[in-house]
Amino acid sequence: MTTEEIKSNVEKALDEIRPFLQSDGGDISLLSIEEDKLVKVQLQGACVGCSVNQMTLKSGVEMTIKKHAPQIEKVINIEA
């Protein structure tokens, strides 16, 4: 799978997650994908400083991204 295909799949995963985050007043954006296995995202709005955002990141975001792009090993949130 090419880097472009991986990016496309990660974007599809984020599009799947975004409505849930937006319903809570938050959002997420893709910052970068490094070496086709590390995804850097930024949680925004109400998700910033939310006590469950690390759980959301691991169980929701990372799981969904791995479903779309299995070669991704880790998803990290970069604070603004």
| Confidence bin at 1 (pLDDT 50/70/90) | confident
3-state secondary structure 16-72: HHHHHHHHCCEEEEEEEEECCCEEEEEEEECCCCCCCHHHHHHHHHHHHHHHHCCCC
Report how many domains make up the chain.
1
Distance CA 29, CA 65 (A): 13
> CATH no. for residue 32?
3.30.300.130
Residue 48, CB-side half-sphere exposure with 13 Å CA sphere:
10
Return the pLDDT at 51. 75
* Domain carrying residue 31: 3-77
Q: Is the pTM of this model over 0.85?
A: yes
Which one is predicted more confidently, 56 or 27? 27
